[in-house]
Amino acid sequence: MPFYKPAPQAENNPATEQADTADADDAPPSLPDDGNDDPLPSLLMTDDTLATGEPDLQADIAAMLSDDTLIADDIEPVLDTPDLYALLKAEFAADRGEIAKALSIYKMESFKKNATSVFERALSLSIEYETPNKSLAFASAWQATNPEHMPAWFYVTHLALKAGEYKQAAAMLSTILHYDPRADLGQILTGIIPPKAEDKRALLYALQGLGETNASIAVLRAGILMGLNDPEAARLHINQALASEPTNLAFITLKLNVLRAAGRMDELWQFLSQARKQQPTEKELYLYEARYLIETGDLTKAWQLLNEAVKNTKDKDITLLAGLVGLDSARFADAIALLEPLTKLPDIANQANYYIGIGYERLGDTTNARLHYEKVNHYEYVLDATKKTVGFYLAENNSDAAIKALVRLRDEFSSYATDSYILQAEIYLRQGNKQQAKDLLTIANRELTNDDRLLYASFQLLEDELEPEDKRQAINRLLEIDSFNPYYQLADAKFRLSQNPNDAQALDTALAISNINFDDPSYDSQLQLDALLVLANHALAQNNYDAVIDYLQAPYEVMPTLPAGITLLRAYQGLGDTEAVNTLLADLQTRFLNNQDAQLDSQIY
């Protein structure tokens, strides 16, 4: 837990108040103040423990705060203890975003007697809005005047590590370890390994001779050595840490990573197996191996391991993962049996019902699949579950129930209203109710006036039914919303070519979209095929049959679609190539005439 509460978010940009800022994430973790201000034994503050080689910080407090003095009109008398009125002014300043003023007051007040809480508030603001070096200077000055305050030792150590002042950090660590050689340093050492190799080496050098029996220091050394790509040396230090704390999960995980980096896989699995025997209910010890097995595609071993984990841990997350592995390895009935109890747990019931639905669907039991899909009521899963439910109803020719499911979706999840309207319009078009689809989409676009996805989908669905002026109006609106969208640009090019086959600019646009490289962020295989289809249909209208084949033959072989196939067929007919016509016609009939094949879901975890 952090030792401070995050500062209230100010409306003004604190950058105008302070040139240098730092993320609040740089805050050191807390060490609770036990309230005991009795001086510590003098041995704690011996010369060798604080011999940092730094100037006398206590003597330089005034200099350190010279640019943070109180404002000129602040004429309250200086008190021995923090001035409540001054603290209120500081907090109000922080609320208004006047961070420099707030810090100035807080820092000054923190050097008075009994001002520990003021110091912690000042330090929290400093960490959030100032550089690590400035925060360290303040914390060091305060700690120098309050040498008996143990939490400050930890604050200064953490900030010194963050600021790259490894000599000072080592001195403070020496102080802490002199007092308690086995002190838990895990929190202040977490996340402070520097990114640069030279800084890692400097920190490793500064740690020489420190904490030879301290597990946290050993782990820090191991982490640094891992960052320097020396897993063998790291292994020695993590073993030292585990000798002190053999059941520490973080230490165990680090050793597993060290062994993996060193290529000692046999030793890794032996160590992990032994760790599980010592802690059979610790789920992370199962998850480490399960993830590895899943990554390497060994789902059978992953399934066996996770079933063992379910029995030993009784953990819902383990059970869910086991169910997903069961589904993906075609153990549908077993997976369903594992997942069923999770439907009674409110926080995971939606996921369980969704994946049980997948299991029944893969078994061909659409009744039970739909039953579980209809129980899904979570934002992340409800859209896909509703689509599947609608598909089942349509397969039974129950379009009324399908439409009710879509209406319920947009009533309960307004963010999915667009999807609901589009799917409902598709149902009407499938039924041949073009006017009903047009009326529905007209209402939807009036309700969701700035939803370009809805407008574009409406345009695509009703393109053949719209008058030219309506098409032009819709495309203009789409380009007004997003003139750089390649889908809208292609729709514009297609329409312009339909009105003027000699529109060179429209042809250039379609050609440019068809040539978007696959590594371009705007690349989409369907968009590319649509652009090629526009070019091919334009060539077909010009009786340029060879160009049509050049545009579409290869794409059709890779990603066959009915529109591309029909355009190709007309080109071969134009060339009088009877053999190619018959071959392609047979392929179209096989692929698209009665293609009712259901496709399994892809990887689901």
pLDDT above 90 as % of the chain: 61
b/e code 189-226 from CB counts within 10 Å (16+ = b): bbebbbeeeeebeebbebbeebbeebbbbbbbbbbbbb
Cβ contacts of 470 within 8 Å, gap of 6 or more: none
Smallest Cα–Cα separation from 480: which of 469, 463, 492?
Answer: 492
> Residue 575, SS3?
helix
**Would 208 be classed as within a structural domain?**
no
Tokens of 236: 């020695």
Domain count within the chain: 2
Rounded Cα–Cα distance for residues 300 and 306 (Å)? 10
b/e code 98-115 from CB counts within 10 Å (16+ = b): bbbbbbbbbbbbbbbeeb
When pLDDT is cut at 50, 70 and 90, the band that residue 495 belongs to is very high
**Would 600 be classed as within a structural domain?**
yes
Task: For tokens 């206590």, name the residue.
Answer: 58
Residue 370: per-residue pLDDT: 97
Summarize pLDDT for 171-213 with one digit per residue, the tens.
877 777 777 777 777 666 776 777 788 888 888 888 787 767 7
Q: Which has more pLDDT, 367 or 15?
A: 367
**Would 7 be classed as within a structural domain?**
yes
The CATH number assigned to the domain holding 576 equals 1.25.40
CA atoms within 13 A on the CB side of 455: 24
Tokens of 376: 């899904």
| Average pLDDT of span 364-387 | 97
User: Among 48-57, 85-94, 117-126, 134-143, where is mean pLDDT lowest?
Assistant: 48-57
Neighbours of 477 (CB within 10 A): 17
Domain boundary among 192, 217, 233: 192
Cβ contacts of 562 within 8 Å, gap of 6 or more: 588, 591, 592
Q: Are 244 and 215 in contact (CB under 8 A)?
A: yes
Residue 79: per-residue pLDDT: 56
Rounded to whole angstroms, what are the CA distances from 99 to 2, 105, 125, 254, 396? 20, 10, 8, 40, 66
Strand partners, 322: none
**Would 583 be classed as within a structural domain?**
yes
**What is the C-alpha R_g of the chain?**
34
Rounded to whole angstroms, what are the CA distances from 164 to 131, 482, 487? 12, 47, 50
Please determine, for residue 425, whether its predicted confidence score (pLDDT) is greater than 60: yes
When pLDDT is cut at 50, 70 and 90, the band that residue 80 belongs to is confident
Cβ contacts of 276 within 8 Å, gap of 6 or more: 282, 285, 286
CA atoms within 13 A on the CB side of 537: 16
Rounded to whole angstroms, what are the CA distances from 360 to 64, 336, 351, 367? 70, 8, 14, 8
Strand partners, 29: 2
Residue 186: per-residue pLDDT: 66
Phi, psi for residue 8 in degrees, rounded to 5? -60, 140
**Would 430 be classed as within a structural domain?**
no
> Residue 4, SS3?
coil
Rounded Cα–Cα distance for residues 589 and 17 (Å)? 72
When pLDDT is cut at 50, 70 and 90, the band that residue 65 belongs to is very low
Residue 43: per-residue pLDDT: 28
Residue 535 lies in domain: 503-605
b/e code 562-577 from CB counts within 10 Å (16+ = b): eebbebbbbbbeeeee
Tokens of 215: 């597990």
User: Among 70-74, 99-103, 258-262, 590-594, where is mean pLDDT lowest?
Assistant: 70-74
> Residue 142, SS3?
helix
Rounded Cα–Cα distance for residues 289 and 282 (Å)? 13
Letter for the amino acid at 467? E
Residue 12: per-residue pLDDT: 45
When pLDDT is cut at 50, 70 and 90, the band that residue 406 belongs to is very high
**Would 305 be classed as within a structural domain?**
no
Which residue stretches of 364-451 are H helix?
A: 366-373, 379-395, 399-412, 417-430, 434-447
* pTM of the full structure: 0.69
Cβ contacts of 265 within 8 Å, gap of 6 or more: 259
Please determine, for residue 13, whether its predicted confidence score (pLDDT) is greater than 50: no
Rounded to whole angstroms, what are the CA distances from 251 to 215, 259, 308, 465, 518? 9, 12, 23, 67, 43
Handedness of CA 48, 52, 53, 57 (dihedral sign): negative
**Would 549 be classed as within a structural domain?**
yes
Tokens of 384: 């896909």
CA atoms within 13 A on the CB side of 120: 21
Residue 543: per-residue pLDDT: 95
Tokens of 444: 């939807």
SS (H, E, C) 392-417: HHHHCCCHHHHHHHHHHHHHHCHHHH
> Residue 29, SS3?
strand
Residue 408: per-residue pLDDT: 97
CA angle 586, 590, 591 (to 5 degrees): 115
How does the average pLDDT of the chain come out, rounded?
A: 84
Domain boundary among 150, 173, 192: 192
Smallest Cα–Cα separation from 245: which of 184, 166, 160?
Answer: 184
> Which of 1-15, 102-116, 407-421 ranks highest by mean pLDDT?
407-421
Summarize pLDDT for 15-43 with one digit per residue, the tens.
444 434 334 344 444 433 444 444 333 32
Tokens of 473: 């109006």
**Would 440 be classed as within a structural domain?**
no
What is the biggest distance separating any 2 CA atoms in the chain, rounded to whole angstroms? 104
Tokens of 8: 């209230």
Task: For tokens 């574009």, name the residue.
Answer: 456
H or E stretch at 493: helix 486-499
Residue 28: per-residue pLDDT: 40
Task: For tokens 């089942």, name the residue.
Answer: 392
Domain boundary among 171, 192, 213: 192
- Measured in whole angstroms, how far is the alpha carbon of residue 372 from the centre of its chain? 28
Rounded Cα–Cα distance for residues 533 and 555 (Å)? 10
Rounded Cα–Cα distance for residues 202 and 547 (Å)? 66
The DSSP string of 265-313 is: HHHHHHHHHHHHHH-TT-HHHHHHHHHHHHHTT-HHHHHHHHHHHHHHH
